[in-house]
Structure 1
Amino acid sequence: MIKYSYTIMYVKHVEATVAFYESAFGFERKFITPEGDYAELISGETTLAFASADLAQSNLAKGYTAVSKEQVMGIELGFVVDNVTEALNKAIEAGATLYEPLKVKPWGQSVAYVIDCNGFLIELCTAMGG
């Protein structure tokens, strides 16, 4: 059996990123290394984690493509929320950048997109069918 357990995002500043996600989305800090180069947040069944760019370089001999605020990457984090407008406003107050305003999809789902403090794309949406 395979279970999707966590997503690790490589960032320049782990502590600042964790603080942003705590403020913007209300996640709680689960773990951070004494060196501050890796941290995990309590975010439901799947752990959201951050590793420093230096740690990424030490783990990935072939390197990686760093996220950029100039152009979003072809991947997003999806956060299901009860109220997209409230979640969107809270994220923006915490420093997120609006990427796509709130839209209601033909199937009734409300969806908006923001960019986090590093340049990662985040979808804020109601549950499917809601």
Structure 2
Amino acid sequence: MKYGYTIFYVEDVQKTVAFYEKAFGFKIKFITPENDYGELISGETTLSFASQELGKANFGRDFQLASIREKAYTMEIAFVTENITEDFDKAIEAGALEFKGIEEKPWGQKVGYLKDHNGIIIEICTPISYQES
């Protein structure tokens, strides 16, 4: 078994896919003709977005949607980069909102948090350096 997809349910799939393409440079892998589902090439795991309508069709009303107007959602996606300041600023220029600025963690990793227009939390971080003990 392997981890294949992360899917977020959003109001506008095309707008969301375009944002992630512009903000982070991911390439579009697939969008349905109905524009209710789209995938981005983001490494080994596919980053996907599905319409809220598709979510309601799949689950009824038994799921919680992210919202830019609500408190932080209980999950996040994380993108690892060597150029954290540049990539963080590029995402803001593309329309992301700064949620928590970049800071260095006690273990040496730099981490900052954004929100997209759907309210999805995006972590931008440097790789973690592991030392042999």
State TM-score, norm by structure 2.
0.94
Q: State the one-letter code of the partner of 1:108.
A: G
1:12 and 2:26 equivalent? Answer: no
Q: TM-score when scaled to structure 1?
A: 0.96
Deviates more, 1:10-19 or 1:56-65: 56-65
Aligned to 1:92, the other structure's residue is in SS state: helix
Which one-letter code corresponds to 2:93 in the other structure? Answer: E
Describe the SS at the equivalent of 2:102.
strand
Whether 1:91 and 2:91 are equivalent positions in the alignment is: yes
Of 69-78 and 7-16, more deviation after overlay is shown by 69-78
What is the Cα deviation at residue 22 of structure 1? 0.3
Which secondary structure state, in structure 2, belongs to the residue aligned with residue 20 of structure 1? Answer: helix
> RMSD over aligned Cα, in angstroms?
1.1
| DSSP-derived class of the 2:107 partner | coil
Point out 4+ residue stretches in structure 1 off by more than 4 angstroms: none
2:65 paired with 1:66 = yes
Measured in 1, the distance between the counterparts of 2:115 and 2:106 equals 24
- Please give the secondary structure, in 2, of the residue aligned with 1:78: strand
Give the aligned residue type for 1:113.
Y
Gaps of 5+ in 2: none
Q: Percent identity?
A: 53
| 1:64-106 per-position Cα deviation (integer Å, ceiling 9, x unaligned) | 1111112111111010011110011000000000011010111
Name the structure 2 match of 1:76. 76
Distance in 2 between residues matched to 1:64 and 1:9, nearest whole Å: 11
- Which segment drifts farther, 66-75 or 6-15? 66-75
Written as runs of structure 1 = structure 2, the 5 A alignment for 1:108-119 is: 108-119=108-119
Give the paired residue count.
Answer: 129
**Which residue number in structure 2 is paired with residue 122 of structure 1?**
122
Aligned residue for 1:44?
43
Aligned residue type for 1:48: L
AA matched with 1:29: I
Alignment of 1:101-112 (within 5 A): 101-112=101-112
